[in-house]
Amino acid sequence: MFDTALTANDLVFLAKGAGMTLLVTASSVFFGTILGILFGVIRYQIGPWWATPMTLVLDVFRSIPLLIQLVLANAFITTVLGLRISGFAVACGVLSLYTAAYCAEIVRGGIEAVPQTLRRAARSLGMTWGQDMTYVVLPLATRVALPSWIGLALGVMKDSALVYIVQVVELLKSTQILITRLQEPLFLLMICGLFYFLISFPIARFGGYLEKRWSND
Amino acid sequence: MIEIENVRKSFGPLEVLKGINLTVAKGEVLTVIGGSGSGKSTLLTCINGLEPIDSGRILVDGVEVHAKTTDLNKLRRKIGIVFQQWNAFPHLTVLENVMLAQVKVLKRSKADAEAEAVKQLNHVGLGEKLKVYPSRLSGGQQQRMAIARALAMSPDYMLFDEVTSALDPQLVGEVLDTLRMLASEGMTMICVTHEMKFAREVSDRVAFFHKGVMAEIAAPDQLFGAPKDPELQKFLAATH
Amino acid sequence: MFNYNFRWNQALSSLPQMLEGALVTIEIAVLSMAIGITVAILLTLFRLSGSRPLSAIATTWVEIARNTPALFQIYMVHFGLGGFGIHLSPYLSLLIGIAFNNAGYLTENFRGALKAIPETQTRAARSLGMSPIQAFQNVILPQMLRISFLPMTNQMVWAILMTSLGAVVAMNTDLYGVTSELNARTFRTFELFAIAAVIFYVITKAITLSARLLAARLFRY
């Protein structure tokens, strides 16, 4: 059907790249979310005035190209600090912080969306701050935050394509390597694009569905 | 002259107009009263073609509104309509609101459009508010602006769809005064309204709609004084 | 551990070149936004037209733009078209790639904005005798753009950041490309990219700030 020089080995090569994409994405989203929740809660607790330095720092992550963040982090750690570190670690480190920066905002927004009246009711019933957080704030804040978080996670997957710059061979880079060798750019790019699309599209739709469903409550 | 012949209309399974026959002569002021869901507002939106009809005809000066060959945009220049929600264009000043359609639809020059706009805005008592944005006006003022906006198109007919229903009570009077003034100037008007006193004072005829049927139509003294239709009697008893 | 000799002077001497690169970056971002907004308005009209094929085109564009990496999109323009024998310059590939991405996201922003405009606005305009296009152009579009102003500003910031992706098409006249070339020659990676980072930060902050000022002046109602 398709007249292509693509071999089974090549497909395995691409699959490895795809696996790397997913690995980088999952790790970064995992660590970034934990950090983001932490930052978000702290920022909410200490109020906008005190949190300004934190906000400024997080804002920096959103105002500089991710590519430069990766290059800078890599250069800093390897040449300035003189440490030996894998590109994968740099990639995950930077992406985690990047995720945390956005996640903190999402978490803060989620917590703020929980009406004060509910929380006061919980505390009046004798619940501790921890219990209030766990049983009242957490479920409600999650409803508000989850659709945005899904969008963020998908965004990280798309941004993972940039980690080639620190020698991590993910899907897009693998595709490019094959293109250089096989000279079938369109076909290979279609496969690559399809991978991203088939993962992102259904999840994004699902996120939209959740958003609609929970906003009516 | 507006001629409504045997008009039927349904929204899905619900029939809202069940064979309406009505003629409105030039210069006549017709008020339409009735409970909600009686079909009165729907009738107005059918007259200017915003809503399609299922059967029957509506003719405005001999032109069939719902014929495929009718240029609706052209027809709408003759028919001004003001809704319950004044629908001010928020991004334009009061003056610009009234000028926009004149320039774009009637192709008047900016100078002519402005002159006409100023005239109509003065007419409705908004002469001081020309350069203001609608968000700064009260509901009553915005509604009067909507009336001026429709009048600036020099229509032959004006339709008013419960134009005071969304207003705070103290603002209703100023809008009704504007309507009274228009009536006295000889404008052909169809007003759907809940304001019975106004209807009685201003109309040449009053029509009572009930569940999609025009149950009675008569001069105000007769309709209010000696209502024949039992539903109308119930309605008047409830609203007095 | 800190055996590194920071050579800031050497890096700073390249500042003029980097600033020239910054101008190219801004130029690409502005052009890509102009194209993106125009296309987004067109795609919005497609969606409003009620025609199924036109709606499908709009939806396809939006979903591809939002569900694949921007880097992939730039790749597609440069290498994908190359497969058809169309060889674009790095500048053009980057510009078209970013514009494609912009158009997709902006169309989605416009859709949200339209939902905030009551349907009665169109009804009022049509009742005054305006044609559908006149109603859209004079009543709906201005409001849609005003509501979308903040998202459009964010997209502009994205466009600035996306210019760095020109790296994969050997783009060497924008800020990232210039920095990259200087790095290849002098190996002062940290200093050079740190300066580039600062320039990017200043540009994005300037855009966000001026947008806020502009909004305050334009949308006084």
Interface of C with B in 136-165 (CB under 8 A): 138-139, 142-143, 146
Plot region of B40 (φ>0 → left; ψ -120 to 50 → alpha; else → beta): alpha
C118 — contact with chain B (CB < 8 Å)?
A: yes
Residues of A in contact with C199 (CB under 8 A): none
Q: Please report, rounded to a whole number, the percentage of residues in chain B having pLDDT higher than 70.
A: 100
Return the CATH number of the domain spanning residue range B25-50+77-239.
Answer: 3.40.50.300
Q: Is the dihedral of CA B217, B222, B228, B233 positive or negative?
A: positive
As a whole number, the mean pLDDT across chain B is 91
Summarize pLDDT for B82-111 with one digit per residue, the tens: 998 888 998 899 999 999 999 989 999 999
Residue with tokens 């600033």: C19
Question: First vs last Cα of chain C: how many Å apart?
Answer: 59
Residues of B in contact with C134 (CB under 8 A): 104-105
C70 — contact with chain A (CB < 8 Å)?
A: yes
**C130:B101 CB<8 A:** yes
C165 — contact with chain A (CB < 8 Å)?
A: yes
User: Is residue C3 in some structural domain?
Assistant: no
Q: Give the tokens for residue A55.
A: 């906000």
Give the span between the Cα atoms of B137 and B171, in whole angstroms. Answer: 12
Residues of C in contact with A206 (CB under 8 A): none
- A154, closest residue in chain C (CA to CA): C67
Nearest to C150 by CA among C217, C65, C215, C218: C215
* Domain encompassing residue C29: 9-218
Testing the interface with B: which of C127, C131, C133, C147 to mutate, by most B Cβ within 10 A? C127
Whether residue A173 contacts residue A18, with contact meaning beta carbons closer than 8 Å, is answered with no
User: Is residue C4 in some structural domain?
Assistant: no
- C71, closest residue in chain A (CA to CA): A161
Q: Give the tokens for residue A49.
A: 């005035």
- String of DSSP letters for C47-105: HHT--HHHHHHHHHHHHHHHHS-HHHHHHIIIIIHHHTT----HHHHHHHHHHHHHHHH
**CA C139 → CA B4, B86, C125, C134, distances in Å?**
31, 14, 7, 8
User: Is residue C160 in some structural domain?
Assistant: yes
> What DSSP character marks residue B54?
S
Strand B79-82 versus strand B157-161 pairing type = parallel
Tell the burial category of C16 from Cβ atoms under 10 Å away from its Cβ (0-12, 13-18, 19+). Answer: exposed
C196 — contact with chain A (CB < 8 Å)?
A: yes
Domain tally for chain C?
A: 1
Chain centroid to Cα B75, Å, comes to 15
Testing the interface with B: which of C128, C137, C149 to mutate, by most B Cβ within 10 A? C128
Residues of C in contact with B135 (CB under 8 A): 221
Whether residue B85 contacts residue C120, with contact meaning beta carbons closer than 8 Å, is answered with yes
Residues of C in contact with B146 (CB under 8 A): 124
A114 — contact with chain C (CB < 8 Å)?
A: no
Per-residue pLDDT of chain B (240 residues; tens, 9 = 90+): 999 999 999 998 889 999 999 999 999 999 999 988 788 889 999 998 888 999 999 999 989 999 988 888 888 889 999 998 888 998 899 999 999 999 989 999 999 999 999 999 999 999 999 999 999 999 999 999 999 999 999 999 999 999 998 888 889 998 999 999 999 998 999 999 988 889 999 999 999 998 889 989 999 999 988 888 888 888 888 876
Minimum-distance CB partner of C126 among B50, B74, B90: B50
- A201, closest residue in chain C (CA to CA): C67
Whether residue A196 contacts residue C70, with contact meaning beta carbons closer than 8 Å, is answered with no
Give the span between the Cα atoms of A10 and C157, in whole angstroms. Answer: 38
**B105:C123 CB<8 A:** no
Chain centroid to Cα A196, Å, comes to 14
Give the span between the Cα atoms of A32 and A99, in whole angstroms. Answer: 5
- What's the confidence (pLDDT) of residue C221? 64
**B87:C138 CB<8 A:** no
Whether residue C167 contacts residue A67, with contact meaning beta carbons closer than 8 Å, is answered with yes
Summarize pLDDT for B189-202 with one digit per residue, the tens: 999 998 888 999 99
- What's the confidence (pLDDT) of residue C209? 93
Q: Please report, rounded to a whole number, the percentage of residues in chain A having pLDDT higher than 70.
A: 98
Nearest to A48 by CA among A113, A95, A109, A125: A109
Q: Give the tokens for residue B54.
A: 């299922």
Minimum-distance CB partner of C64 among A63, A72, A197: A197
pLDDT bracket for residue C3 (50, 70, 90): low
Whether residue A170 contacts residue A160, with contact meaning beta carbons closer than 8 Å, is answered with yes
**CA B141 → CA B5, B163, B171, B185, B221, distances in Å?**
36, 12, 8, 21, 31
The DSSP element (H or E) to which A15 belongs, if any, is: helix A8-50
Q: Give the tokens for residue A132.
A: 């209030």
pLDDT bracket for residue C1 (50, 70, 90): very low
Nearest to C152 by CA among C15, C19, C57, C30: C30
Helix, strand, coil fractions of chain A, as percent rounded to 5: 85, 0, 15
C89 — contact with chain A (CB < 8 Å)?
A: no
CATH number for the domain spanning C38: value is 1.10.3720.10
* Least confident window among A53-62, A150-159, C23-32, C104-113: A53-62
β-sheet bridge partners, residue B31: B191, B206
Summarize pLDDT for B153-180 with one digit per residue, the tens: 999 999 999 999 888 888 999 899 999 9
Residues of A in contact with C176 (CB under 8 A): 65, 67-68
Domains and CATH numbers, chain A: 27-215 (1.10.3720.10)
**C221:B133 CB<8 A:** yes
Helix, strand, coil fractions of chain C, as percent rounded to 5: 85, 0, 15
Give the span between the Cα atoms of B76 and B57, in whole angstroms. Answer: 17
User: Is residue C2 in some structural domain?
Assistant: no
Residue with tokens 């978490």: A107
Give the span between the Cα atoms of B166 and B143, in whole angstroms. Answer: 10
- C201, closest residue in chain A (CA to CA): A63
- A157, closest residue in chain C (CA to CA): C69
- What's the confidence (pLDDT) of residue A59? 85
